[in-house]
Structure 1
Amino acid sequence: MKNSTSWTASLPTEEKARLLEESAEIFSSCMTAGRYDAFFDLLEDWMNTARIHSDLTLVSALSGDIEDPTGQYVV
């Protein structure tokens, strides 16, 4: 059986730390409220971030300068 958190392997170390911090904070809030939708949304967002980090072509495309609609570069 594949490890259910294996997707975290593609996250850089500093991103893993942010994931843990955000997860603890959101999970605590969810426990208080008795609703866990926000926690599952957070995990989905982080899984998508991990997918980006695992795709070198996508990382490269998203790491360059971005041209905004007015034709000026945003750094």
Structure 2
Amino acid sequence: MTIHNNIPQIGLGTYMMSTDEAAQMTYEAIKVGYRHIDTAEVYRNEKGVAEGIKKAISEELVARADLFITTKVFPG
């Protein structure tokens, strides 16, 4: 399957980050040009990722439409 959505091949991975680290690193990554953020339910830091994104959007560093947020949901 080919998807033509221009998702960046390089993204910020948030594995092993605390919620606070994820918030700060997500914000900083967006600030320097990252547009792909990867997280997962089992990382337990999605709230921090959301906070970083919200801060970047509120400061008009990026529009939500320009971000690719990928996550993984595990059954059970």
Q: Give the TM-score, by structure 2 length.
A: 0.35
Q: Which has the larger radius of gyration?
A: 1
Larger relative strand fraction: 2
Larger relative helix fraction: 1
